[in-house]
Structures are given as C-alpha cells and as structure tokens.
Structure 1
C-alpha cells in the first residue's frame, strides 16, 4: 500500500554511510530487522548503539503499557514534523507485528474525541514536551496525575517522549533517506540483506 510519504521529496543525507558489520549485526539482532541507518553512525559507536538500545519497546518500560508508548512515539514524531522518524516509527510498529490497517487506525484514533482520558493526557504531555520542553510540563504533568498515572508511569512517559525527541532530532539533522525503511519493509532490497 502506497503512503503519502512516498511522494515527499527527500533531501540528501549529511553523512556518507560506512559499513561496520559487527554494529549492523548487533542492530539487526536487537531490532529483529536490518537497520540501514546505523551505517551513518559507525564513526561514533556509542551513539549508534544508543540509537538501537534506547527504544522503549525493548524491555525498558516496566510500568507504562506498550500501546501508550507506541502512541507517544507516533505523536512526538508527528509533532516534530519529522517525516524520517515518523516513517521509521511506522516501519518499527509494522516490524513488531502491527498490521498496516492497525497502524492506520492508531493514526486515526489520535484525533478522535472519544479517547480514554489516560491516552488523551499522555498525548497532551507528549505534544507539550515536544513543543516547549520542560517549561511547559507542569500543566501536562497535572493532566497525567488527574488521569490516574502513577509516578513511575509518568517517568516512563517522560522517558519515551525524550527518547523519541532525541532520535527524531538525530534523524532530522542527518536527513536519513526514508527509502531504506520502505525497502526493508518490502523484502530488503536496500543492500542490507547481506548482514
């Protein structure tokens, strides 16, 4: 199924990718699929590993449910207007087993008026943090408390939002080519299948 993102003009990436088979294999084992963007960070291995290890879906959340974290990553990527990260988040959800139809339903649900208060509060917090950072957190934080989130859940919401902002900022700065993600979703014709 074609996406509107397939018709967006992509700018050239600022860095040339370099192969590091060990790092690429690590990324593939951890994420369960090839990660061509890792090649842009091989000169800074700790950053490359952070790009892989900091995803909330890899056992880093102990209190926040994964559905809320998934919604937050989509909302924050939308809020950042990061088409690269938004495309990557969609691809990751798909790779984790979420169907395209379900991803589209999640996207449509983000603007529904009848969302449960907890989801609305989490979305408001994510948008607030992405727009204005910690200075605007108090009102959104109070909404999280009012919606019944525990302190531990609120910390994990903040972690999910901050991590997504961080990963989005890196991708926007470097201008990753989305074509890698779309090809990986369609049987890896991007050259990464030889990992």
Structure 2
C-alpha cells in the first residue's frame, strides 16, 4: 500500500454501521480511560471486546519505548495504511500535544528527515515494515534497530505497536468510520485556548512493566509470553480471549479466518495454532489443507464460504475496494456478526504481524 499524498481527500465510503446506544458502564469505562467518549464507541458498542481493544491500545501500553514513539508510530502507520479515520484522529491528537502541521507533514513524507534519535528512526522504519509485512521482517531487521540504539525490549514493543495499529486501522477502514469530532475541534477558533487543558489529559504517561498475564493458557499463549513484562502482553491476552469467547461467531469460523491470514502472511506459528484450534473443533487436517489452498471447500458452511476468501483480501488492500467487499460479504449478516467478522480478521492480521517476536532473541530481564 503506497502512502497517499493527501489522505483526507482519499476515497472513503459511508460508514457501514450506524451509531447506536452505548451501555452506561461501557461509556463510563471509556471516559475513565481516555477522558472522553470518542466517535467510534457508539458504532462498536455491540462488540464489547472490540471496544475494550480500542480503549486499551490507545492508552499506549508500552514500558520500554520512548514516550513519544507510540503517537509518532500511529500517525506514520495510519497514513501508510491509508486509514482515513485513524490518520485524521491521530494527527489531531498530535496537534493537541503541540506538534505543528509542518513537522507532521515532514514526518509522514519521510521520517528520516525529522529530528529524531537514530534508534527511533530505525524503530519507525521497522514498524512500517511490520505493518506492510511484504514480506514480514525477520531477526536481521529487529537486530538493526537494537544496533541503532533501542533496547531489545523496546523492539519487542514495536511489534506490539504494529499489531495495535494494524487492528485499529483495519476495524476503522473496513467499517469506513466517519471522521472523529476531534478533527473539527483542532480546526476551531477556540482550540488554542483549550489545547493546554486537553494536552494535560492526553499527554503520554510513563507505564511501568507489569507482571505477565495469568492465566495465559488460551490460544496463542506463546505469543503473549514473548511480550514479557510489557503492559502490551495483558492487552493482547484480553483481545484474544475477548474474540475467542464471544458467542457471536463460532470458534471454528474464527480459527479458519486466522488460518487464512496466517497462510497469506507466511506466519507458520499462527497457522499452526489455527490448525490446532480447528482440530479441536473437528476439522481434519486434509480439509484445512484444501481450504487454505483453494479458499473454498464443501466442508465450509454458507457463511464460512463467504468469509474465507474475504479474509485473504484483508491482508493488503485499497480502502475503497475493501469497503465495497465488506458490504458484499456482510450483506446478509446482523450488525453483531458484521462487527465480529471485521474484528476477527483485524485481530488475525495483527497477531500474524506481531509474531515476529517469537523469532527475535529474548531480552535480558
């Protein structure tokens, strides 16, 4: 996906789902975490685990990365992924934090020319390579970031940042979320007066390391373990458990979507996990082979037959084209099923990109 020159003008369809009521406790939790009720909450509310994932990831769950890296990385990756919603919202957040438009323009055109330490520049390059996954970077690329000056544990967290951006970008793009109100706010006449107060609420705060999540015996446990004591580990565990335990889509369907994305991205670990989960659901290995080779099989039910080829298209796409495909694929589905489908393929893309941490040398504690 080539980085667009003028992302706000990129083709973007009407939002797939209308805004709806937000449970009181959900609204309270989001406000407590981020200080406001963002525009995505009323549209994602029917899938609580997706709301929690957005809430957790925008709180910058990283202990070893420089405080500014999460925001810089989010704007670079969102622009590179052509996510109109995330790019606009994140750029507005950066303006609240005091970044000037000229700096942000230079950052998204070429972050190598902005004033950053060598380790952070190398980290942004690695982050973008992870997001593109064309191909997925390997141990040599992660080691180059360490040699440029970042702690090995910070490099592990970059993989988590790539996963979080991948998840949020895909949910926002596939649903065609409309621009967030914060974009209008930062262009308004009162912004210069209220910006200092907003900045105090939104400025990145140091996050200490956390004990690894326990229990960690569900799907993709080794991937969560590889994140060590980063706060990202608990976020990833909650995302996986939220998706896996949601009753809206069958577990077999979710595992099939993970397998398809894993095969497309060459992620042997995630494909192996998906095969293990599918075996537990009664699907034989030869049938999985057929599905992954042909993106179809008589073993698939009617809904799976539509979702399997669609999952493959979510690995790399152009926004307008994938938004049309979402409408075609989810035309007969309920609002809840549509959200869960989009959340599941977004999570599969995120996890398969993050799994590079399994190949990297382990950092000393």
Shorter-normalised TM range: 0.7 to 0.9
- 2:134 maps to 1:157: no
Judged with a 3 Å threshold, the aligned counterparts in structure 2 of structure 1 residues 134 and 32 are, in CA distance, closer, same or farther, namely: farther
Secondary structure in structure 2 of the residue aligned to 1:135: coil
CA–CA separation in structure 1 for the residues paired with 2:72 and 2:51: 24
2-structure distance, mates of 1:151, 1:179? 35
Q: Which residue in the other structure is 2:50 paired with?
A: 47
Shift of 1:178: 1.0
State the structure with more CA Rg. 2
Residue in structure 2 matched with residue 24 of structure 1 by the alignment:
27
Aligned to 1:190: none
1:148 corresponds in structure 2 to 149
Mapped partners of 2:32, 2:94: distance in 1:
16
Instruction: Tell me the distance in 2 between the aligned counterparts of 1:115 and 1:186.
Output: 27
Higher relative contact order (CA 8 A, sep 6+): 1
> Where does residue 15 of structure 1 map in the other structure?
17
Residue 80 of structure 1: how far off its partner (Å): 0.9
Comparing 121-130 and 104-113, the one that deviates more: 104-113
Structure 1's 125 and 119: CA in aligned 2 closer, same or farther, altered over 3 A?
same
Q: Cα RMSD (Å) of the superposition?
A: 2.7
In structure 1, stretches of 5+ residues that fail to align are: 188-195
Matches within 5 A, 1:56-75: 56-57=59-60, 60-75=61-76
Give per-residue Cα distances to partners, 1:96-122, cap 9 Å, x unaligned: 555556645654661417753212211
Query: Where do 1:112-123 residues align within 5 Å?
Result: 112=113, 115-123=116-124
Aligned equivalents of 2:52 and 2:38: distance in 1? 12
| Cα distance, 1:24 vs structure 2 | 2.9
Partner deviation per Cα, 1:17-36 (whole Å, 9 max, x = no partner): 11215223432332123301
Structure 1 CA distance for aligned equivalents of residues 36 and 100 of structure 2:
16
Runs of 4 or more consecutive aligned structure 1 residues displaced over 6 Å after TM superposition: none
**Normalising by structure 2, what TM-score?**
0.44
Deviation at 1:174, TM superposition (A): 0.5
Aligned to 2:41: 38
SS in 2 for 1:130: helix
